[in-house]
Amino acid sequence: MADHQQHVKSHLRGFQNEACADFTLPESRAAMEAALAAARAKFGRQWKLVIGGKCVESGATFASTNPAMPDEVLGYFQKGTPLLAARAVEAAAEAFRTWSRSPAIIRIAAAARTAELLRERRMEFNAWLVFEAGKSWAEAEAESGEAIDFCDYYARDMARLDGSHPVLQLPGEKGEIRYLPLGVGVIIPPWNFPLAILAGMTVAALVTGNTVVIKPSSETPNVAALFAEVLLEAGFPAESFNFITGSGSLIGDALVGHPKTRFVSFTGSRDVGLHINELAAKAQPEQLWIKRVVAEMGGKDAIIVDSDCDLDAAVEGVALSAFGYSGQKCSACSRAIVHADVYDAFLERLKPRVERITVGSPEDPQFYMGPVISAAAQQTILRYIDIGRQEGFLLVGGEAFGGDGHFIQPTVIADIEAADRVFQEEIFGPVLSVSKARDFDHALEMANDSQYGLTGAVYSHNAEHLALAREEFFVGNMYINRKCTGAMVGCHPFGGFNMSGTDSKAGGPDYLLLFLQAKSIAERL
C-alpha cells in the first residue's frame, strides 16, 4: 500500500495543461477520421440508467440526435422518473457511508487514472462531441483536453487538502483543521461542454469523498454515458456514482429537492440556476443540513475596444470569442463596445473577417462553425436576430441555412444601444452586437450595464485605462489584449459574478473547498 501511495504521489508532481492535437498533421487527422467512423458504427446504442451499481430500465426511452443531421439517431436513453431519482439519491447516501471513509490516496489515484483514460480515449470523445454537441474538430479537441486537465488538477489538489492542517496554537492545546466530504451531490452538467464540465464537477465531488447522482442534459447524454464508463474503469466504485437521464423538470426537481441531497453542482442557464437555488433553499422534512449550491450560469460578455489598441488584434479576438462553437459558450463575446474614434474602422475590418467564417457539418474539418444545438435554439436565436434588425443595423449574416441541420450564419448587428434587448439579454448563439462608446469611461459603464458578470476583455495600450478596468470591470474572468474565451485549468480559475453564478472558480485552488466542510479539532494537552 505504501509503495502504491508513493507511486501515485510521484505521478502527481507538476501539473501541466494538456497539449492539443494538431489536425494539420496526417497522423492526427487519420486518428480523428478513424474515431468518427468508429463512433458512427455505434449509433443507435440502447443505454440504461445506473442506480446503486445496477443497470435499470424505466420502461420509456428518448433519442439523442445529431444537430447537424437531426434525423440521425445517436443513441436511446431511459426516461427517468421521480421514483427512480429518489432511488438514486438513496443509493448514493448508502454508498457515502463507505466511500467517504476511503483513504484519500485511493480517491486521488482514481481521479488521476480518469485523466489517463480520457487521454487514451481522447479521439473517441472528440468524435462524440462532434456528432452530439455539434463541435468542430478543434473545439472538441480543446474540450477533451480541458476534461483531462480538470481530472489531473483536482487529483493534485486533493493531495494538498488531505490530512491535518495547522492553525494558530494556544498554549496547552494542539489544534488542527481537517476537511470532510459533504454527502450526496447532484451533478447537472450543460449540453455545451458535456465532457469537460461534467468531468470537472463529477471528479471534484468524488475525489473529495462525496457520492453523486449524474443527471446529464438530454441533448448530450451519449458523452455522459461514455464518461460514466471511464469512471468505473478508473477505479471509482460502481456505487459511488449513479447515472440517470430524462427530463430536467421531471427528475431534476426530484433530485434537488430530496432531503438526502447535500449539494447541487449545476452549470446552465440563469433561469434554471435560480430555480435550483430556490428549490434547494427550502428545507424538506427530515433534512439535516442547508444544501449547498455550486452554480455556473449565463453570461452577456463584453469586449471593450479602446481607441489606441491594436485594431486588427481586437477584430480577431472579438470574432473568435463571438463565433467559436457558434457562440454557444457562456464565456462568448456577445457585445463589442467600441470607442467612437475607431468605431467605423472596427466595423470595416470586422465585416470581411466574419464573412470568411465557414459554416457547415462539424464532421468536415474545413468548417469553423457548426450547427446550434437544437431546432428550438435555432428558432430562439432567429427571433433575437429579428429584434436586432429593428434595434440596430444588420452588418452581416442573419439567416438560417443548411437544409435540415440547425445552422445559422454568423451575425453582427451594429449601432446597438445599452437599453436594447440584444444588448441586455443572453442569446446563446452566433450573434454579436456592436455598440459605440463616447470614451473609455463610457465603454466601461456600458460593459457593466448587465445582470451578468462572467467574462470580459479589454483591448487597449493605455495603462491608466487598463488599471481602471482591473478595478472596475465587474466580471469573474477578465482578459487584457486577448479573447474572452478559452480559460485554461490552473491558469484562469473560472466563475462569474451576479447572475453568472456563485463565482465557483472551477480549475482553481478554491474549487475543491466547495465540496468539503472544515472540522476544527482542539485537544487539551
pLDDT, residue 6, reads 54
3-class DSSP assignment, residue 5: helix
pLDDT, residue 4, reads 47
- Measured CA to CA, the distance from residue 85 to residue 264 in angstroms comes to 14
List beta partners, residue 75. 45, 64
pLDDT-derived band of residue 518, with 50, 70 and 90 as boundaries?
very high
For the question of residue 139 being annotated catalytic, the response is no
Residues with Cβ within 8 Å of 229's Cβ and at least 6 positions away in sequence, in order, are: none
Location of C-alpha cell 507538476: 14
What is the dihedral sign for C-alpha 228, 231, 233, 237? Answer: negative
* Conformation bin of residue 131: beta by default, left when phi > 0, alpha when psi is -120 to 50: alpha
Burial of 447 (0-12, 13-18, 19+ CB in 10 A): buried
> Selecting from 3.40.920.10, 3.10.20.30, 3.20.20.150, 3.40.605.10, what CATH number does the domain 23-297+504-524 have?
3.40.605.10
Q: Which of 296, 309, 363, 426 is catalytic?
A: 296
The single-letter DSSP state of residue 492 is S
pLDDT, residue 403, reads 78
Domain spanning 301-488, CATH architecture:
3-Layer(aba) Sandwich (3.40)
The single-letter DSSP state of residue 330 is T
- Measured CA to CA, the distance from residue 296 to residue 100 in angstroms comes to 25
Burial of 168 (0-12, 13-18, 19+ CB in 10 A): exposed
Residues with Cβ within 8 Å of 323's Cβ and at least 6 positions away in sequence, in order, are: 354, 357, 368, 369, 410, 430, 432
Residue ranges of the chain assigned to CATH 3.40.605.10: 23-297+504-524
Mean pLDDT of 418-439: 98
CB 199 within 8 Å of CB 150: yes
Supply 308's cell numbers. 489606441
Q: Give the tens place of pLDDT for each residue, 27-50.
A: 999 999 999 999 999 999 999 999
Chain-centroid distance, C-alpha 345: 34
Q: Which of 18, 124, 309, 330 is catalytic?
A: 330
Provide the mean pLDDT of the chain.
96
CB 495 within 8 Å of CB 504: yes
pLDDT, residue 404, reads 86
Which of 83-87, 160-164, 325-329, 399-403 is predicted with the least confidence, judged by mean pLDDT? 399-403
Location of C-alpha cell 474549487: 511
* pLDDT at 3 exceeding the cut of 80: no
Helix axes 122-133, 26-40, angle to 10 degrees: 60
Residue ranges of the chain assigned to CATH 3.40.309.10: 301-488
Supply 145's cell numbers. 483536453
pLDDT, residue 402, reads 74
pLDDT, residue 505, reads 97
Mean pLDDT of 3-14: 58
List, in sequence order, the alpha helices (H) in 134-281: 137-161, 196-207, 221-234, 253-257, 270-281
Cα angle 496, 500, 506; round to 5: 45
Q: Give the tens place of pLDDT for each residue, 49-75.
A: 999 999 999 999 999 999 999 999 999
Q: Which of 412, 479, 474, 403 is nearest to 444 (CA)?
A: 474
pLDDT-derived band of residue 2, with 50, 70 and 90 as boundaries?
very low
Helices H / strands E in the chain, number of each: 16, 24
For the question of residue 151 being annotated catalytic, the response is no
pLDDT, residue 9, reads 56
* pLDDT at 156 exceeding the cut of 50: yes
Cα angle 235, 129, 119; round to 5: 40
* pLDDT at 7 exceeding the cut of 60: no
- 3-state SS, 113-164, equals HHHHHHHHCHHHHHHHHHHHHCCCHHHHHHHHHHHHHHHHHHHHHHHHHCCE
- Measured CA to CA, the distance from residue 468 to residue 442 in angstroms comes to 12
* pLDDT at 1 exceeding the cut of 60: no
Q: Give the tens place of pLDDT for each residue, 210-238.
A: 999 999 999 999 999 999 999 999 999 99
* pLDDT at 122 exceeding the cut of 60: yes
Chain-centroid distance, C-alpha 69: 24
List, in sequence order, the alpha helices (H) in 41-136: 82-99, 104-120, 122-133
Q: Give the tens place of pLDDT for each residue, 430-487.
A: 999 999 999 999 999 999 999 999 999 999 999 999 999 999 999 999 999 999 999 9
Residue 414 has φ and ψ, to the nearest 5°, of -95, 170
Q: Which of 194, 180, 203, 201 is nearest to 264 (CA)?
A: 201
* pLDDT at 249 exceeding the cut of 70: yes
Q: Give the tens place of pLDDT for each residue, 365-398.
A: 999 999 999 999 999 999 999 999 999 999 999 9
What is the Cβ-side half-sphere exposure of residue 110, based on CA atoms within 13 angstroms?
29
pLDDT, residue 401, reads 86
pLDDT, residue 14, reads 82
pLDDT above 70 as % of the chain: 98
